[in-house]
Amino acid sequence: MELNRNQYFFLGIVILLLGLQFRMVNEYVLTDEATQFLAERTRSSGSQSAMVSFASSLGETSHKVIRPPDWLGWCMISVGSVLILHSLAMRGPGS
């Protein structure tokens, strides 16, 4: 499947906006359900997933905090900008 001009432009806008969001937000705090879901799926360490299930059975709230690196936002902004400029340089759908 070949991408056309409009699809490149849309993909560039989405990646650019995600990059801006990563630059403006320092950390993401997941809910209990999302933390439990990740603990079950990743199985990174048995003691960690056991602690999450133990803490959730006690009623304590244990939220996972995700801190994306600073370079990720800049990388996504630049990739999105390049995709937008590439789409503008392509021939239009009717041409």
pLDDT of residue 38: 85
**What are the residue boundaries of the structural domains of the chain, listed by start?**
1-26+68-95, 28-66
Q: What is the pLDDT along the chain (95 residues), one digit of tens a residue?
A: 788 899 999 999 999 999 999 999 999 999 988 888 888 888 755 555 555 555 555 555 578 899 999 999 999 999 999 999 999 998 876 66
pLDDT of residue 26: 92
User: Taking Cα atoms as reference points, which of 63, 75, 12, 14 lies closest to residue 34?
Assistant: 63
Measured between alpha carbons, how far is 63 from 34 in angstroms, rounded to an integer?
Answer: 9
Query: Which H or E run contains 71?
Result: helix 70-89
